[in-house]
A = this chain, B = another copy of it.
Amino acid sequence: MKIDPASKSDLSAQIAAAIRDAIMQGDLIVDERLPSESELADQFRVSRPTVREALKRLAAQSLIRTQRGASGGAFVNRLSYPDAYAQQITTSTLLLSMNAVRFDTACEARYALERACAGLAAERRSPDHLATMRAEIHRQSQPGLSDEAFCASDVAFHRALVDAAKNPVLSYQLAGAVEAMQPLMNIITFTARSRERIVTLHTRIADALEARDGRSVDLSLRELADYTVSLADRVMQHRKQAS
């Protein structure tokens, strides 16, 4: 069923890969129970701790879940959207923070992706999405709002925009990109961002969405992107001068 070439290193990684392949290939279906740890140990000719390490690897990717007790065991997990979001966010966040991705590169990518939703969102937006966006705009225009709260509201606004496209796959992809950008965005927000300008642009986007004018949404998003990038440039130049 699943074998294991005695080639090179790390038995637990090999076992994890074998089980992962079986799941991806469809040999193991959702909610199916894997053999018990002891049985797997016998099957693969390794000890139980080694099997356990392999299972933990899979659990870390939400591929399996485990239950204790009689008739417990490891079960193939249905990968839910929230789980997938979470992993995408950690992966994307780390990728951006560890690879010295330039702010404008990330920003360009983010708004390009978001603009991909503009047309669909204009077609399909429901009153709920509009209400959410209006509410966030209102919150953003409150004078006493902290920087953190403003950023959170900003994310919620754009999240609503993406969700308005009513395509869960798009939402899933975009959630990772937007969330991962947040730390980078905060650097800008906390220094130079004009809330007034942002609120104006957000309002324009909401208006265009309400009018189901996809082209106008797209234009406003592009303007927002350009503004954000120009801000970033200014912040970077400022830093260069300071050092």
Q: Which A residues have a C-beta under 8 Å from some C-beta of B?
A: 12-13, 16, 20, 23-24, 26, 30, 49, 52-54, 56-61, 63, 78-81, 84, 87-88, 90-99, 101, 105-106, 108-110, 112-113, 115-117, 119-120, 165, 167-170, 172-173, 176-177
User: Known pairs A57-B60, A60-B60, A61-B61. 20 more at Cβ < 8 A?
Assistant: A12-B56, A24-B97, A49-B49, A52-B53, A53-B56, A56-B56, A57-B57, A60-B61, A61-B87, A79-B98, A80-B99, A87-B91, A101-B168, A101-B169, A108-B167, A109-B173, A113-B113, A113-B116, A115-B116, A173-B177
Of B90, B99, B109, B173, the residue contacting A78 (CB under 8 A) is B99
Please determine whether A168 and B105 come into contact, CB atoms closer than 8 angstroms: yes
A-B contacts, 12 listed (Cβ < 8 Å): A16-B60, A23-B94, A52-B53, A56-B57, A57-B59, A78-B99, A101-B169, A105-B169, A109-B170, A110-B169, A115-B116, A116-B116
* Residue of chain B at shortest CB distance from A120: B112
> Are A61 and B91 CB-contacts (below 8 A) given A81-B99, A116-B116?
yes
The 3 A-B pairs of least Cβ separation, nearest first, read A109-B169, A116-B116, A57-B60
Of B60, B101, B170, B172, the residue contacting A95 (CB under 8 A) is B172
Please determine whether A112 and B167 come into contact, CB atoms closer than 8 angstroms: yes
Number of copies: 2
Please determine whether A95 and B113 come into contact, CB atoms closer than 8 angstroms: no
* Residue of chain B at shortest CB distance from A87: B91
* Residue of chain B at shortest CB distance from A59: B57
Min Cβ gap A129→B in Å is 17
Please determine whether A95 and B116 come into contact, CB atoms closer than 8 angstroms: no
In the bound assembly, the distance between CA atoms of A170 and B110 in angstroms comes to 8
* Residue of chain B at shortest CB distance from A107: B169
* Residue of chain B at shortest CB distance from A12: B56
In the bound assembly, the distance between CA atoms of A165 and B169 in angstroms comes to 22
* Residue of chain B at shortest CB distance from A108: B167
In the bound assembly, the distance between CA atoms of A59 and B99 in angstroms comes to 18
Which residues of the partner chain B approach A115 to less than 8 Å between Cβ atoms? 116
In the bound assembly, the distance between CA atoms of A92 and B61 in angstroms comes to 12
In the bound assembly, the distance between CA atoms of A105 and B172 in angstroms comes to 12
Which residues of the partner chain B approach A105 to less than 8 Å between Cβ atoms? 167-169
Please determine whether B84 and A91 come into contact, CB atoms closer than 8 angstroms: yes
